[in-house]
Amino acid sequence: MGLDRRGFVKFVVGGVAGTLFTPVIWKGMDDAAKWSQNWGWIPRLPKGERKAVPALSKLCKSGCAVKVQTVGGAPFAALGNPDNPMSKGGVCPICAGSVQLMYSPARVAGPLKKVGEGKYSPIKWEEAEAMLVEKLTPLKGQDGKIAAISGDETGTANEVLSALLAGLGNASGYCAMPGEMLTATRGVKLMGGAGQPGFDIEGADFVLMIGADALDSWGASVANQKAFAASHPTGEAATARFVYAGPALNNTSGVCDQFVAVPPTATGVFALALANALISVGATCSAPDFADYKALAAKCTPEVFEKATGLKAEVLKDLAGKIKAAKAPLVIPGASFGQGSGALDFVAGASLNVLLGRVGQKGGMTLLPAAPKALSAAADRAEAKDAGSFMAQVATGKAAPAALIVYEANPAYALPQAGDMTKALGNIAFKVAFATYMDETASLADLVLPAPHPYERFDDAMNPYGVAKPTYLAGKPVLAKPVVDAKDPVDVLLAAAGKLGLSLGFETYADVIKAKAKAVGADMDTLTGGAAWTGEPKGGSLSLGAAALAKAPAPKADDKAVALAPLSKLACGTTELACPPADLLTIRDTELKGKDLFVQMNAATAKKLGVAEGNKIKLTGGSGEVKALVHVNEGVAAGTVAMLMGFGHSAWDQYTKGKGDNIFKILTVSDEAGTGMKVWAGSTVTVAKI
Amino acid sequence: MDRALFPEGLERCSFGKFALWLLFITVFLLYGLYAMIVIFAKGIVVTGLDNYFGFGLWITVDLAIIALGAGAFFTGFLRYLLKIDQLANIINLAVIVGFICYSGAMLVLCMDIGQPIRCWFGYWHPNVHSMLTEVIFCITCYCIVLVIEYVPIILEQKQLYRIPFIHHLAHNMHLNMALFAGIGAFLSTFHQGSLGGMYGVLAGRPYAFREGFFIWPWTFFLFVLSAVGCGPIFTVLIATLMEKLTGRKLVDYKTKALMGKIAGTMLTVYIFFKLIDTWAWAHDYLPTTGLTFDQMFYGVIYGKWLMFTEIILCGLVPAIMLITPSIRNNPKMLYTAGILDCIGICLNRYLFTVQTIAIPLLPFDKWQTYAPNWAEWATTGLIVAYGFLVLSLSYRYLPIFPQERAMNK
Amino acid sequence: MSGHAFKEFKINWGMVIDLDKCTGCGACMTACQVENNIAPMVDASNKMRTLSWMLVFELSNGKPAPEAEVAYLPRPCMQCGHPACVPVCPVVATDKNEEGGIVSQIYPRCIGCRYCMAACPYHARYFNWEDPIFPKGMEKALSPDTSTRPRGVVEKCNFCHTRLMHAKDKARQDGGDPEALAEGAYIPACVEVCPTGAITFGDLKNPEHKVHQLSKSKNAFRLLEKLGLKPQVYYMSNREWVRKLGDNYAAGGKPGAEKKHS
Amino acid sequence: MEEKKQCKGCWGALPFVIGFVAAVIAGWVLYPDLIYSKKTQPVNFSHKVHAEQGMVCADCHTFRDDGSYAGIPTNEKCNECHSDVVGTNPAEKVYVDKYGKTGKDVPWLIYQYQPDNVIFSHKAHESLECTSCHPDMAKNDVPPTYYQNKLSGYSKQTMRMWQCERCHAENGVSNACHVCHK
């Protein structure tokens, strides 16, 4: 039987009809739906036993005591450690996304050697370590030829760096990235004391933060937040009042009882005017320089205050009254972005604690004793040179190191007048960067040595800035092996030291930390098990620092320029770390939109500058310029423009590179009268519409 | 060339001209198909929809063409159940337009959902409380009814009709058409209503939420009325457009005016209730949510002019025009009223779809705006082009208009 | 809701968020993203396309400088008692049918019609515009607790429901009653990490749980109370302007007072 | 006339019938075979041999302290006895050489494989017999062939949602979505 066209059509129709009586279509539809529920290109979930491993995450400045959640041995989340006083179960936004950072696309996967402008080729560790030794050998014993910049404020790695430099005859080359710790320690010295100051927020019933963003990015932020929480039990009356006096409404001020909008140029005036107001309501103290201080403060009359801050004098009076009425008031001085303010601003703020008799008291300002060292050859932390000043010397040729070791720091990005700093780095023949991520500095280095992520290494934290009592934390690796070909920088340095003929007494960082723990009087296993060691603050009194304050220059009036207030928000990253991928969501669309950063100012300032919401403007200051969009925000102090730091990265990964602009480019460095320090808080900028 | 396929005794344009016309339609079809492929391949991330506007042009188009396609069921209902025989002159076109609208709507829905592979979940795992479930079931069923109504028209094609089996089949289907018209009317009423109900039940969206009768919010009834108030006149507009394009007379004006009267009557009833509903909503309901009438509108894009245009200019005005015999009997005025009517209903669907979700309800939230992008426009164009294609082929090869031969002698 | 009755549950898992304690630091959003396997987005500033089950809003008192104040408002899914999203779902991909009252969202069932998103006035529901793309290697750090979602489905906060399941297993293992968990045995990730403890979590119906009393305090309120969706998330603030931003008061009335409609 | 038409109709329907029957046969006989790929376990594990040693299920398939279920044991567990070859069964040697000593986990095929979106608590089902859901493996000497759906990737032997739901319904246990999905 031949099959004609009509017959074929019937056959096909019959086939289709028959198919409807089979499971083909129905099962096919069901399987297709199941396929759509389990697409092969969508990652599968890990399986296995779950554990919570205590660890120390030093991705944020102060370090978070966390419990890393693992499944089948692989970490997937970091939660707080309820047993550790620094965490009490809380965790900062950076460390909450810390595990994901192990797999950041910006991670340095293995040692890299620079082979051309911006070009790197991967090398073996043996070659890399040999190169390091080879480059340092000829410089041995020539003071000023080797320098190191550390971005780690708390680790004992600093002792190794310092001892190494000293051993190589380059003791003066040890520098630290700027931060509150350096400024405050200098300030304490000016007030006739010694040591790192601490602030007992937990014990205070009135906390005045002048600039210091203590509940978000300043100091041991999680511990600070926990102290705040303890005084504000949900559903019950608060037992402490918090006041924030700073350039803009920020996360800290979001929960404060009061916000006082003080332009960043007027921080010192504010503190002294407050002192004046306090003295006028009867505050007095036994400090030897009280009379001088009183005279100084008297110059900061309500009129001076009003002119400098744009606020009404009643604010001051009201504040003084509240402080006077408090049983345990505490003043925390600082910069809105955790650096760059001079020692004098610190003295002005801290002197209020002296004036109120709060030094060494419960809920007051404390002084921490110098921590015992693991390496006796190491310099004290406070003796480190300020990396900003050092790089400025390199720029002008006053310092001429031939080799620079960069440890967990990003000076090419995070020093004021960043443009100049990048150029200055070019003056140094050999730069080695110990970096976890390919940041701006690593991208300029001649040798990049991958450092492990905090969950892949031993590390410790001694006295994170702000803690009221001596505090020591240590952590051990969660993972047996780093996920990339990384080596502990300290291990590498110790090995290099050996090859350079220098014995520092240790072979690994773990041994160093063990020795440190022993020196402190703590048990290494207990510490790495998630506990913290705490000691007692030392006693001692302070002067009001009147002599130093007397040298402070009167604020200059500049009608063309506006004050620049850099703002720091932990979730946006730190000076060492670009915003983690898991934190990107937290950036508001009034802070960053696409690739444009917003600059915030109040309506009056906007009017004065002739700009409006959404305008694109150029800010010029320091040695550079920054482009941004205007966002009118009534929470910014008079005559001030505020801007988030942590943006404008030229390195890192697709999540951060090229987004926004780097505020460090337009910060102006100036010399502080009488202290010889470099300051850049209170920079001014000019604004032009583009 | 294809003369042998033309309906008995009718003239059509040359094949070359027709091919050119098809080519013109194909350009839109291909662009739309391209957009559709992109959408299926990459997902609806390629559209202008976003977190705030989960519904946009597509849903608006869906609702609008389903309303405009209401001519099919309502004309069928009047023709077969109420036996208004004059409507036989236009019923075929009404069915075809209905078929195009409903099949087009189903295609749009398939693109609109994020997981088209799971589209059958709507039937297999239905949520009986969801108005959308009702819509899915009724639209599908009614689309099948429309196919059944469309098939005899196809079977009447000159060459097919010569086959005795097909002849008998077509004849028998015609005989039972009243049954299908009845089913169609029932299904249509429900899903037109459910489409309105979809918005009326949104307790969290004060712009759309309405009280109601039993499980049906007032929007349920308003949508039924508004659909039958525009469907018939839309069919008339299509017929007139076809007349303009082909240069031939297809439907006598008496029938058109009758359709206009039907639509006008329903539109009047609709507008009457719509005005009451809007007043009660603004006066009684909104205050209970703490919102004001003014807060429902924003700038030009979501301004009050839209509501005014919808209800007064494109509602009340055409309603009056259509029920006034002297105006209705003037062709230009009838068509103007028809166009206003259709715009008003489409605008109504747009406002319920987009304005409803554009309003920031959290006091600290901001208005967001929505604009469809190329992918949505291209696929909407695809549906329109598809409609033109089906209509062109049907017109050229099927005997749609019973009066055509007599009127073009 | 006309014609749709909702179940009453013996347990109502709920939150009381103290807005006077939220610094807006974002740790909750980050922890949420990690716990629930939300892939990082290259342009996270496009808030119209991001997925943020937990979203911290910034509230302003609207006053000019220097009287301006801010508050931060974390917004998880409200797990409404009368959810607007549940009855609209055509395929029962979302339901409020489990003891505890958490509104479920089942990704393999969802067809992505987004009707629930249109229904939710809190914008708590999110559509997966794209497949979850993790940078190479980061998929090794996925949480085992939440399945990854393909593009084209809707998702939302579920109070870290898997943590509830784990808590129940732990209770069974320890010989306890999985249906009578002690306070703190089950808490979502955002609650756990919050450095200021702004979020209190527990059974709103259980007098032994803190949230029970807190939700009744005079400063407690719910978002858009007047719409009658009965959220299981409460907020509280001593500041009147903050409380007032929880609902619309154009027609007068005081914050905290509930006005019902049907 | 009438007859002729009928007869023509019979002839005309034949291709249709052939098509119909062919499709039905293909759909019921060939198709179910076609959509599954057959796989064998990486190690020819005998439950029977172990059961004969007096071992019970819970010796290897254990609960952890947090109430979670370890499921198929890891190498660590197997190595407690099989760190080296102790018997004569060639399968044991395969395990020891290929997995036990290399530290590579055995990629066991899981007959009761459930996708990521399912959460199942063995603890909650502890009162049931293992064999209520799993095949009685204690008597099993050669692991059964594993059938995997080529499209969905599911194991043919796995439990389906309706089976879970039916048992829950019969026992008065909640069938709420979140009880089983994550």
Residue of A nearest to D73 (CA): A48
B370 falls within a domain: yes
Q: Tell me how many domains chain B contains.
A: 1
B409 falls within a domain: no
Give C37-65 as a DSSP string.
TPPP-TTTT-TTT---SSEEEEEE--PPT
User: Quick check: C172 and D123 CB within 8 A?
Assistant: yes
> Can you give the pLDDT at residue A669?
87
Residue B348, domain extent: 3-404
User: Which residue in C2, C109, C112 is closest to B114 by CB distance?
Assistant: C112
Is residue B359 pLDDT above 50, yes or no?
Answer: yes
Chain B 180-209, residues with CB within 8 Å of chain C CB atoms: 198, 201-206
Min Cα separation C102/chain D (Å): 9
Beta-ladder partners of B273: none
Give me the residue label for tokens 């480059």.
A135
Q: Smallest Cα–Cα separation from A46: which of C22, C116, B104, C137?
A: C137
Taking the CA atoms of B133, B372, B105 and B41 in sequence, report the sign of the dihedral they define.
negative
> Mind listing the pLDDT tens digit for each residue in A536-570?
998 788 999 999 998 877 666 666 789 999 999 99
For residue B166, give the CATH number of its domain: 1.20.1630.10
Which helix (H) or strand (E) segment holds residue A118: the answer is: none
Which helix (H) or strand (E) segment holds residue B13: the answer is: none
User: Quick check: A17 and D16 CB within 8 A?
Assistant: yes
pLDDT, chain A, mean: 93
How many residue pairs from chains A and D have C-beta atoms closer than 8 A?
Answer: 96
> Can you give the pLDDT at residue A557?
62
Q: Kind of pairing, strands A430-435 and A447-450?
A: parallel
User: Quick check: A49 and D27 CB within 8 A?
Assistant: no
Range name among B171-180, B366-375, C208-217, D30-39 with the lowest pLDDT average: B171-180
Higher pLDDT, B180 or B395: B395
Model confidence band, residue B3 (pLDDT cutoffs 50, 70, 90):
confident
User: Which residue in A14, A32, A45 is closest to D20 by CB distance?
Assistant: A14
Give me the residue label for tokens 């740790």.
C27
Q: Smallest Cα–Cα separation from D178: which of D92, D126, D96, D119?
A: D119
ipTM of the complex: 0.93
**Averaged pLDDT, B357-362:** 95
Beta-ladder partners of A80: A66
> Can you give the pLDDT at residue C260?
38
> Can you give the pLDDT at residue A555?
63
> Mind listing the pLDDT tens digit for each residue in A292-346?
999 999 999 999 999 999 999 999 999 999 999 999 999 999 998 888 888 899 9
Residue of B nearest to A35 (CA): B117
> Mind listing the pLDDT tens digit for each residue in C74-128?
999 999 999 999 999 999 999 999 999 999 999 999 999 999 999 999 999 999 9
> Can you give the pLDDT at residue A558?
65
For residue C137, give the CATH number of its domain: 3.30.70.20
- State whether residue A36 sits within 8 Å of chain B by CB: yes
C249 falls within a domain: no
CB distance A350 to A466 below 8 Å: no
C183 falls within a domain: yes
C255 falls within a domain: no
Range name among A365-369, B83-87, C116-120 with the lowest pLDDT average: B83-87
Q: How far is CA A143 from the centre of its chain?
A: 31
Q: Smallest Cα–Cα separation from A640: which of A607, A601, A608?
A: A601
Q: Tell me how many domains chain C contains.
A: 1
CB distance C158 to C102 below 8 Å: yes
> Mind listing the pLDDT tens digit for each residue in B252-305?
999 999 999 999 999 999 999 999 999 999 999 999 999 999 999 999 999 999
Range name among B114-123, B356-365, C250-259, D48-57 with the lowest pLDDT average: C250-259
> Mind listing the pLDDT tens digit for each residue in A419-463?
888 889 999 999 999 999 999 999 999 999 999 999 999 999 999
> Mind listing the pLDDT tens digit for each residue in A260-270?
999 998 999 99
Most confident of A140-144, A195-199, D74-78: A195-199
Chain D residues lying within 8 Å of A18, measured CB to CB: 19-24, 27
pTM score, whole prediction: 0.94
Chain C residues lying within 8 Å of A71, measured CB to CB: 143-144
Higher pLDDT, C17 or A141: C17
Return the biggest CA–CA distance within chain D: 88
Model confidence band, residue B130 (pLDDT cutoffs 50, 70, 90):
very high
Is residue A22 pLDDT above 60, yes or no?
Answer: yes
**Structural tokens at position B3:** 């003369």
Among B115, B137, B356, which would you mutate to test the C interface (most chain C Cβ atoms within 10 Å of its Cβ)? B115
> Mind listing the pLDDT tens digit for each residue in A66-86?
999 999 999 999 999 999 999
Model confidence band, residue C255 (pLDDT cutoffs 50, 70, 90):
very low
How large a percentage of chain B has pLDDT more than 70?
Answer: 100
**Averaged pLDDT, A386-403:** 91
Chain C 138-157, residues with CB within 8 Å of chain D CB atoms: 145-148
Is residue D6 pLDDT above 60, yes or no?
Answer: no
Min Cα separation C24/chain A (Å): 6
Distance CA C14, CA B359 (A): 27
**Averaged pLDDT, A665-683:** 86
C252 falls within a domain: no
CB distance A186 to A203 below 8 Å: no
Q: Using CB atoms, list chains with 3+ pairs below 8 Å to chain A.
A: B, C, D
Range name among B15-29, C33-47, D5-19 with the lowest pLDDT average: D5-19
> Can you give the pLDDT at residue A10?
83
User: Quick check: B121 and A35 CB within 8 A?
Assistant: no
**Alpha carbon separation from B396 to B12, B13, B102, B156, B388 (Å, rounded):** 6, 9, 22, 13, 12
> Mind listing the pLDDT tens digit for each residue in A609-625?
999 999 999 999 888 99
CA dihedral (B273, B274, B278, B283) in degrees, to 10, reads: -10
Give B233-293 as a DSSP string.
HHHHHHHHHHHHHH-S--S-HHHHHHHHHHHHHHHHHHHHHHHHHHHHIIIIIHHHTT--S
How large a percentage of chain A has pLDDT more than 70?
Answer: 99
Chain C 136-165, residues with CB within 8 Å of chain B CB atoms: 150-154
Burial letters for B370-402: b for 16+ Cβ neighbours within 10 Å, e otherwise?
Answer: bebeebbbbbbbbbbbbbbbbbbebbbbbbbbe
Is residue C258 pLDDT above 50, yes or no?
Answer: no
**Structural tokens at position C242:** 């903050």
Helices B218-246 and B88-112: angle between axes, nearest 10 degrees = 110
- State whether residue C144 sits within 8 Å of chain A by CB: yes
Model confidence band, residue A174 (pLDDT cutoffs 50, 70, 90):
very high
What DSSP state is assigned to residue D69?
Answer: B
Min Cα separation B322/chain A (Å): 49
- State whether residue C184 sits within 8 Å of chain A by CB: no
Residue A17, CB-side half-sphere exposure with 13 Å CA sphere: 14
Among A13, A25, A29, which would you mutate to test the B interface (most chain B Cβ atoms within 10 Å of its Cβ)? A29
> Can you give the pLDDT at residue C3?
41
C216 falls within a domain: yes
Q: Give start and end residues of each alpha helix (H) in D30-172.
A: 31-34, 47-52, 57-60, 75-82, 90-95, 161-170
Q: Give start and end residues of each alpha helix (H) in chain D.
A: 2-25, 31-34, 47-52, 57-60, 75-82, 90-95, 161-170, 177-180
pLDDT, chain B, mean: 92
Burial class (CB in 10 A: 0-12, 13-18, 19+), A105: middle
Distance CA B379, CA A123 (A): 54
pLDDT, chain C, mean: 92
User: Quick check: A32 and B115 CB within 8 A?
Assistant: no
Chain B residues lying within 8 Å of A31, measured CB to CB: none
Could you list the beta-strand ranges (E) of A228-351.
241-246, 258-261, 329-333
User: Quick check: D124 and C172 CB within 8 A?
Assistant: yes
**Averaged pLDDT, B132-157:** 89
